[in-house]
Amino acid sequence: MKEGAVTTAEQNEGLSEASELNLTKQVLALALQLSELQVKVRRMNRRIAELEREIEPTECVDTTPFRDRSWSIE
């Protein structure tokens, strides 16, 4: 074999390491996106809770579907 020649196994190992590094970068990027989305969801949930507290209770309305009520209109 010529001096300085790279074997197929060495090339594959280099590609494997590069692929692994690329996948690691992708996983880290996705983890960062997930973290950012979790922060946004927490903020939205807090805002929803604030809005729900601001809503004044109205008169009680029966929300039971009509077919489930034990009484009927005669």
Q: pLDDT band at residue 10, thresholds of 50, 70 and 90?
A: confident
What single-letter amino acid sits at 15? L
Does the pTM surpass 0.85? The reply is no
C-alpha 53/C-alpha 42 separation (Å) is 17
Domains in the chain: boundaries:
31-57
Tokens of 74: 């005669």
* Cα distances (angstroms) measured from residue 4 to each of 1, 7, 13, 17, 73: 9, 10, 16, 20, 94
User: Which segments of the chain are extended strands (E)?
Assistant: none
**pLDDT digits over 20-61, tens only?**
999 999 999 999 999 999 999 999 999 999 988 888 666 666
Q: pLDDT band at residue 8, thresholds of 50, 70 and 90?
A: confident
